[in-house]
């Protein structure tokens, strides 16, 4: 996402050094994944595009063809900053999210130059789309930002972090810059990329690219100016949304593995998440 300049921040601290050793890894290989995208249609998904009412999939921006969820702009007369988000119906708290995407083609002619080229992402812990204003560009959320290389010799990692209306903590300190690069390599061309994000409520969030961890942060929270509250408002759950930001992108897989939160031992529709002696960061 965004126009603000990303800060290149390479994370060399391992996850095991931050998370208590008693907390086990989620079983991503044999877990009971749930497909949020069925490969046939947009069942379960709702579009919210800037300047249009919730549910108006303006100009057929989000469509399904040949088993692929596609974001396209061929029916736009002008993009005109009509940033869009495709929201899934359910909110989630503790989960692993697996997305396979690829950028294709060229950016729409009047799309924002520079930052929006080969740029998309998925919003996590998002506000309810029903609460977004008509002209709101991005929901208050944390974003796993997808970027593609521009073949200009400059690094352009993917699975970065952007924070519209929010902040996070990194290494125990409040981190307020808008966007932060991950440590992933730059991925060029129209190749498929697998991103997995492990979200533990208001605790830790981890980004993995093609199986390798590239970014870790914690305690997602509303920006004080957005929260309009005297105390910090931490985000423990929220909606998921795929972006449309002016460059065509394909999504082949969008699936989720619900995990049991440390404070939700009796939650329904959750996959058990192994925890010993109640060890769970920030829960």
Question: Which pLDDT tens digits describe the chain residue by residue (283 residues)?
Answer: 554 444 433 333 333 333 333 345 777 887 789 999 999 999 999 999 999 999 999 999 999 999 999 999 999 999 999 999 999 999 999 999 999 999 999 999 999 999 999 999 999 999 999 999 999 999 999 999 999 999 999 999 999 999 999 999 999 999 999 999 999 999 999 999 999 999 999 999 999 999 999 999 999 999 988 766 667 899 999 999 999 999 999 999 999 999 875 444 443 443 444 433 333 433 3
Domain-located, residue 263 = no
Looking up residue 250, the CATH number of its domain turns out to be: 2.60.120.560
Domain-located, residue 269 = no
Dist. CA 171–CA 181, nearest whole Å: 15
Which range marks the domain in which residue 188 is found? 15-258
* CA angle, residues 65, 143, 37, in degrees to nearest 5: 25
| Strand pairing report for 160-162 and 179-180 | antiparallel
Q: Which of 252, 105, 232 has the alpha carbon at shortest distance from 192?
A: 252
Domain-located, residue 98 = yes
Domain-located, residue 267 = no
Q: How many CA atoms lie within 13 A of 213 on its CB side?
A: 13
Say whether 18 sits in a helix, a strand or coil. Answer: helix
Please tell me the total number of residues recorded for the chain in this structure: 283
Domain-located, residue 2 = no
Say whether 209 sits in a helix, a strand or coil. Answer: strand
The number of distinct structural domains making up the chain is: 1
């Amino acid at each position: 996402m965004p126009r603000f300049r990303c800060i290149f921040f390479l994370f060399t601290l391992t996850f095991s050094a931050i998370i208590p050793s008693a907390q086990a890894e989620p079983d991503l290989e044999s877990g009971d994944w749930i497909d949020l995208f069925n490969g046939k249609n947009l069942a379960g998904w709702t579009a919210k595009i800037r300047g249009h009412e919730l549910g108006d999939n303006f100009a057929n921006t989000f469509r399904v063809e040949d088993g692929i969820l596609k974001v396209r702009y061929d029916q736009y007369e002008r993009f005109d900053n009509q940033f869009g988000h495709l929201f899934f119906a359910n909110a989630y708290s503790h989960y692993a999210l697996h997305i396979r995407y690829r950028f294709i083609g060229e950016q729409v002619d009047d799309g924002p130059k520079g930052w929006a080229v080969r740029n998309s992402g998925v919003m996590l812990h998002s506000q309810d789309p029903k609460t977004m204003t008509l002209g709101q560009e991005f929901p208050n959320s944390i974003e796993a930002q997808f970027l593609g290389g521009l073949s200009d010799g400059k690094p352009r990692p993917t699975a970065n972090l952007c924070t519209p209306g929010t902040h996070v903590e990194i290494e125990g300190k409040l981190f307020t810059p808008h966007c932060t690069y991950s440590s992933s390599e730059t991925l060029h061309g129209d190749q498929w990329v697998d991103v997995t994000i492990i979200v533990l409520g208001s605790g830790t969030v981890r980004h993995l690219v093609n199986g390798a961890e590239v970014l870790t942060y914690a305690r997602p929270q509303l920006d004080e100016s957005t929260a309009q509250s005297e105390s910090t408002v931490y985000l423990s759950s929220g909606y998921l949304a795929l972006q449309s930001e002016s460059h065509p992108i394909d999504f082949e897989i969008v699936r989720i593995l619900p995990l049991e939160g440390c404070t939700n031992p009796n939650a329904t529709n959750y996959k058990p998440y192994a925890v010993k002696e109640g060890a769970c960061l920030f829960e």
